[in-house]
Structures are given as C-alpha cells and as structure tokens.
Structure 1
Amino acid sequence: MIKKWYKNIGPGPLIAAAFIGPGTVTVCTLAGVGFGYSLLWAMALSIIATIVLQEMSARLGIITQKGLSEIIRTEIKNPVFKLFAIALILSAIVIGNAAYEAGNISGGVLGLETIIGNKNINFDGFSFNLLSWFIGFVAFFLLYLGNYKVLEKVLLFLVILMSFSFLFTAVITKPDVLDILKGVFVPKFNDTSLFTVIALIGTTVVPYNLFLHASLVKEKWQNIDDLKYARKDTFVAVFLGGIVSMCIIISAASIQAAEVNNVADLAKGLEPLFGNLAKYFLAIGLFAAGITSAITAPLAAAYVACGCLGWSNNLKSNKFRAVWIFILILGVLFSSFGIKPIEIIKFAQIANGILLPVIAGFLVWIMNKESLLGQYKNTIMQNILGFLILGISVLLSLATLNKVFDLNFF
C-alpha cells in the first residue's frame, strides 16, 4: 500500500514546497508573535482557496497536456489583450522570481547560519557568503540534471524534512489544543491584523504555482484516468503544507518577543524556553523551506517563459535551461553580496498583485470551456468557489498596491 501511495505522489509536494518559502515562514512567524493563534483561520481559508485553484490548474494540465502559459497564448484571440497578458505574466513571474530568488536563498542561508554560524569571506574589499553559493550549487545541480523523477524525490525528501521540523517544534511548545481549534474555526480580526490576514493568504495563494502545477502534472501523468491521483495528490500536499504553516504560527505564538523579525530570531527566542532542539529543528525547517523555493522559483519561471514565447519546455532544452540559470545566478549574486534589489522587488510585488486576479479570472473562464475540457469543465460548485476566490484575489491585489504606493485603501 505504501509503495502504491509513493508511486502516485505527483507534483503536489513541489507545489507545497514552492509556497512554503522563507517569505511564508516569516509572515507566519510574525502572525504568531503578533496575534497568537487568532489568525489560524486565515491560513485555513488560504488552504481551501489554494486547493480549489491548484485542482483547476492540475485538471487543465492533465486534460489538455499543455501548460497554463501555453493555453493563454493560444486561447486569448484579441492581440492587444494577449500582448498585455503575456507581458504581465513574464514581468510578474520571470522578473519577480529573479527578485524573490535572493530571498529564497537568503532564507536557506539563515537556517544554516543558525546551526553552523556565519560563513562570510572578505576578498579585495568585497564580502560574500559561501552558504549562498552552496545553496545555489545544489539548486543548479538538481535543475541541470533535467530529470523530473530525481527532482520530485529530492524535493519530497526536503518537504518531509521541513514538515517534521516545524511540526516537532510546534509540539515542543505544548500548545493549548482548544485555543488552536478556536483560532482555526472562529475568525477574528481588526484593523491592526487585517494586513497580516491578507499577507497570510497572499503568501499561500501564489500565482506562479498555478503555472508550475499545470506544467508539472503532464510530466507525471498523461492519461485522463490519472486525474483522480492528481486531485488526491493536490489535496493532501496543499493540506499538509497548510498544517506546516499553522505549526510555524503556533510555535511563534509561544514566545513574547518584540525583536522577532524572522524565523531565525524565533529559533533564538525558543532556545532558552525549550532548549537547543527547538532552535535546531526550526533552523533545519527554514533551510529546507529556502532551498526548495530556490529550486521551484527558477523552474516555474522557465516553464512560464517557454510557454509564453512558444519555446520547448523540455527540462533539458537550452532555452529552458537558460531561463532558470539566469534566475538562479541573479538570486545567488544578490544573496551572496547582501544586495537588496528594492525597486525590482517593488515592481515584482505590483506585477504579482495585478497578476493574481487576472490569472484567477482567466483560469475560471478557461475551466468553463467545453471545447477545451469537455466533460471535465467546472461544475457549478467549482465556479462558485472560483468566483469567491477571485474576489479575495482582488482584495489581495488592492492590498499589494496599497502597500507599495501607500494609497490608504485600508
């Protein structure tokens, strides 16, 4: 039975690995420190929204055997709207992932530094971090192999490692189960927590995962009968990913510290209360979160760019490799030299903020096309959930623009 289960594991764990990056870990940490268990319901809502959208993406990939960016290029007939959509997608995913890649690698570095200390080297007036290059090399090696099965197994191992690390840390803190259940099922928020709620949803419902999932399912499954495995894979992986995020919130809620800005600070804060084990498990979890996102972000960017531009999306094709190598090199350099490309990140936030409702809307529209999906088009219930999530994505978009431009929407 375990062998059959393992055989039918698909890209679900990779999708979970992609959304539980250092950004998600940091937001969950701050949510726990600032609001205790009271925002767990926002993560539960995020899990439901992510499952609904990722199931649509997986279904689209299996039925059509095409990636989402390929379908956008072929299904949008108006040339002006098509050009706008492709430009927005390339800006948000390719340029955005290049900016965020430094954060992914830096997150992995923070985890390692919590355990083994700082490994900066000074050379001719420059200071660079050896651990950034180590994580970059590991990501490069795995992606250059161009073997989906190897990539899947390595990321599955890292996701399991990350899951156990954060789960064990949460258990060590001996949380009150009744308070946790209240946090999950009794929504509470006010003016001070509204933006944190939006941030929790925004770090879980990730635009590039919709592209990544549709492209990866066809690497695993080519038969329509396999749709049931893809749905189970999506549900289990995203649900467990959400549990991991909740465990971070629960762990962070156990300490009262004003100087917690990321999970590395949380690890140090937990050490005097719960011993070295808490610190090490959190650090390992952060390292796994950083390195998995450092692999999936360039991979997603390559799939998106190739789909939008009509290139081959074979893992070993030169153009496919050129895209992810470009993203990875930028990430390593920015992380290693401690450069914070603020303007690029702001641009990426704006583009991603606009992209999410556009892609959610397009996905719901395309999932109702009988000419493309036949009997596998959306049901009435799937459409209702899809439109609810579309409304949430518009709110997220406004929140992102509000944050970048200080528009005082909220």
Structure 2
Amino acid sequence: MPVKYVRYAREMGPAWIISAVACGPATLASVAIAGVSYGYQLLWVVILSAVFGTTAQYLAARVGILEGQGIIAATEKHLGKRWAWVLTVDALLATWLAAMVLMSALSGITSLVTGVDTPFWGMLYGILISVFLVRKGYRKFETLCKILVIFVVACFVATLFMAELSLPGIVQGLRPNLPGGLNAAMMMAAIMGGAVHVTIIGMHTYNTNARGWKQSELSLARFDTFTSMGLALGLYSVAIFLVAAAVLHPNGIAVTSATDAALALKPFLGDNAMKIFMIGLWCATLTTLSPTFMAGAYFISDKMGWELDVRDKRFAAAIIAGCLVSMLGPFVKGGFFLLLPLMLALGLTGTPLIIAIILYLLNRSDVSLRNSALLNLMGGLTLLVTSFLAVRFLLTKIGIA
C-alpha cells in the first residue's frame, strides 16, 4: 500500500461518522424488508444508494472544505437569509423526525432484551447520550463510531458468505425495475434515503470543519468518503439485503419486527442468532442516534451564529433540545421496525433541496475549485434519481400514482 494511503487510513474519520449513521437500524430495516418482500428485485436500488451516497457526501465535504464553514452559513452567504432559513427548517424537521423514530427503536430494542417494556427507556437514553455528547465532544465519539460500525458490518458480511444466493436472481435484480404499489415506492425511497439524506449530507459539511481540513485534504476526504460510504455502507446494505432475499423471501417469512429479521441469522448462528442480531441492532441504533443530535445542533447553531462547539452553552442547549424531542418517540404508537423505513422515505423528500444548493455552491464562478464534469454528472444523477423516488413515493402515498 502506498505511503499516502497508510496516512489516509490513519487520518480518515469524518465520513465514518456519516457511515455510522447510514449503517443504522433504519437502513437495516429497509433493506431487510425490501429483500424479504421483493426478493432480488430492488438490488439495483441498494447499489445505487451506496454510489449516490458516496457522491453526495463527497460533494458535502467539498463544500465544508472549500467554504470553510457549514452548509447553512454557506447558503446564507451566497443565496441569502431566506434560503438559509428554508434549508434550516427542512434539515431540522427531517433530523428531529429521525431522532424520534430512532429513540423509539433504541427503547424498543432495550425492552426486547430486558423484558421490561416501557417507553421511559427513551428518557433514560436521552439523558445519558446528551451528557456524553456535551461532556466528551467530537473526537472521542468519532472513535466509538468507527469501532461499532466495523463490528456491525463484519457481522452481516460474515453471514452473507453462508447464505445460498441465486446468481440468476442477482443478475435480474441489477436491472432497474419499478414494482407497483405504495409499499414498493416507500421501500425504494427508504433505501435511497438511508444513504442520501439531508441530515447526513448537511452534517458532513460540519464534520470536515471540525477536523480543520483544508483544500489540500480534498484527496483525503475523497478516500475517507469512498471507504466509509462506498465500501462500508455498500457492504452493509448489500449483505443484509442479499441475506434477506436468499433466506427469508423463499420461505415466505414476513418481516414486521426486529425479531423476525433475526430469523435470517438463525440457520447459521443457531441459538445465538437473536443475541448477536440484537447487539448489532443496538450498536447500529446508538451510532445513528448520537450524531443525529449533533446534526440538529449544528443546523440550529449555524443559523443563529453560535459557536459550533459543545463548550458553547447555546450549542449544548441545542443538543439537549434534540434529546428532549427524541424522548417523545417511544410514546408514538406502532412497531418501531416498520416506522424506520417510513422515516427514511419521508426524509428523502427533503433531500433534493440540499443537493441542488450544494451543486450551485460548487459551480459558482468565484469558487476556488469548481466541480469537474464527472462530479457534476454524478451529482446531477444523484439529484435526479432522489427527486424521482421522493416524488413517486409522495404521489403514491396520496393516491395519485
């Protein structure tokens, strides 16, 4: 391995926090339910989600590095306060909705593991996580994210090698197709929303600033994004999807809860399948929820002109506000495992705006290093496909499509 890549491996990090969020329970639920419900049909969406997720996150990193500030401040500087407010509200609504559903998931998993079924688990977790984030800050949490994401990815990749896959089914699944119905439209939007979501795109502009990366680190940012989103998220999503399609779909097993999804591992892990699955799901939820609180605080604080640091009491208060909102999640009726894909699908509807703004910012005549033709092509495709899936989901939801 060339010396520079050894250094990159040592110094990478911001995109791994994003990957930790993307490799969360919502993506797990979405790809598992899609594999169970449609077999290999939606494999092309799973792969495109990793490709477009990598594209969107690298574009976000470029904004953070070239502008030297977060997406909200950059939007206000170049497009004015009105668009900055629109983007802030858009990002914050999607982020706090995600926080509520994720807290519901964390509470639900804990209830399953302990046998104590109460929504008040959310209050306990909200307090603990907020204290951890306010006291410890960015760097130590980044290390925790790396460890837990690697564990979750390894768990499902290992399972993939033991599944009996259908090569003809995989080849067929690589061909774009659009199954009809609301459920299919929601699952396609949810899969894409797991990797291309306004929360993680916006947050990444702040992550690169937190590390102090400059224009000279653009190649490091590209390596960081490719390894975390392209490889780690890609392996995670494809592995879970293929296991669900190969093990559960042929047997007609419906996945409506976390315990149903764990059945995919039982033929290979025996009685330990449920334990391992729940550990992985708990880790995935925790590594998703904590950065979500940070993202909400970044959006609010950047718009208000506050310091983006936990040592600023206003920033800390914004983190706590997100925690308080999330505590309402466990009190919402409905199984959390089925709410997770819906949350991602709804989040995707707010994502095209931030992609469009990022493309504008990176193609201004006065930007120090404008996008290449290839980057604009990939960014344009990301905007087009995410917009199509989001609009299709909304039209299907209201009964028009």
* TM-score grouping bracket, smaller chain normalisation: 0.7 to 0.9
Letter in 2 for 1:204: A
User: Which residue of the partner structure matches residue 123 of structure 1?
Assistant: none
Give the distance between the partners of 1:305 and 1:107, measured in 2 at CA.
25
2:281 is aligned, of 279, 283, 286, to: 286
* Contact 1:109–1:287 (8 Å) recurs in 2: no
Letter in 1 for 2:103: I
Letter in 2 for 1:167: V
* Contact 2:359–2:379 (8 Å) recurs in 1: yes
- Percent identity, please: 21
User: Which residue of the partner structure matches residue 374 of structure 2?
Assistant: 381
User: Which residue of the partner structure matches residue 114 of structure 2?
Assistant: 117
SS in 2 for 1:37: coil
Give the distance between the partners of 2:350 and 2:18, measured in 1 at CA.
18
Q: Gaps spanning 5+ residues in structure 2: where?
A: none
Counterparts of residues 151-230 of structure 1 (less than 5 Å): 151-172=141-162, 174-176=163-165, 178-179=167-168, 181-182=170-171, 185-192=174-181, 193-230=184-221
Give the distance between the partners of 1:180 and 1:297, measured in 2 at CA.
36
Structure 2 residue 45 is matched with structure 1 residue 54: no
* Contact 2:364–2:370 (8 Å) recurs in 1: yes
Deviations 1:313-362 (CA, angstroms, capped at 9, x unpaired): 12321121111211112213432x4557x9xx9x9889845532221111
Letter in 2 for 1:50: G
The CA deviation at 1:180 is 7.0
Q: Gaps spanning 5+ residues in structure 1: where?
A: 121-126
Q: Alpha carbons of 1:178 and 1:287: their partners in 2 closer, same or farther (altered >3 Å)?
A: same
Letter in 1 for 2:202: F
TM-score under structure 1 length normalisation: 0.85
SS in 2 for 1:313: coil
Give the distance between the partners of 2:383 and 2:283, measured in 1 at CA.
31
Give the distance between the partners of 1:281 and 1:351, measured in 2 at CA.
30
* Contact 1:101–1:294 (8 Å) recurs in 2: yes
* Contact 1:40–1:180 (8 Å) recurs in 2: no
Counterparts of residues 342-357 of structure 1 (less than 5 Å): 352-357=347-352
User: Which residue of the partner structure matches residue 22 of structure 2?
Assistant: 19
Give the distance between the partners of 1:393 and 1:185, measured in 2 at CA.
18
1:267 is aligned, of 262, 272, 279, to: 262
TM-score under structure 2 length normalisation: 0.87
Counterparts of residues 38-187 of structure 1 (less than 5 Å): 38-77=41-80, 82-83=81-82, 85-114=83-112, 116-120=113-117, 127-130=118-121, 132-172=122-162, 174-176=163-165, 178-179=167-168, 181-182=170-171, 185-187=174-176
* Contact 1:46–1:204 (8 Å) recurs in 2: yes
User: Which residue of the partner structure matches residue 250 of structure 1?
Assistant: 242
* Contact 2:72–2:88 (8 Å) recurs in 1: no
More deviation, 259-268/225-234: 259-268
Give the distance between the partners of 2:312 and 2:168, measured in 1 at CA.
51
SS in 1 for 2:386: helix
The CA deviation at 1:117 is 3.3
The CA deviation at 1:188 is 4.0
* Contact 2:192–2:348 (8 Å) recurs in 1: no
SS in 2 for 1:200: helix
Give the distance between the partners of 2:346 and 2:154, measured in 1 at CA.
34
The CA deviation at 1:11 is 0.9
The CA deviation at 1:111 is 3.9
Deviations 1:30-62 (CA, angstroms, capped at 9, x unpaired): 111012223221111111111111111101111
Give the distance between the partners of 1:408 and 1:260, measured in 2 at CA.
27
1:394 is aligned, of 387, 391, 394, to: 387
User: Which residue of the partner structure matches residue 331 of structure 1?
Assistant: 326
SS in 2 for 1:66: coil
More deviation, 317-326/134-143: 134-143
Give the distance between the partners of 1:390 and 1:228, measured in 2 at CA.
23
SS in 2 for 1:275: helix
User: Which residue of the partner structure matches residue 359 of structure 1?
Assistant: 354
Deviations 1:222-277 (CA, angstroms, capped at 9, x unpaired): 33211111110001100111210111112222113444124332114643675123
- Aligned residues between the structures: 390
SS in 1 for 2:395: helix
The CA deviation at 1:178 is 2.9
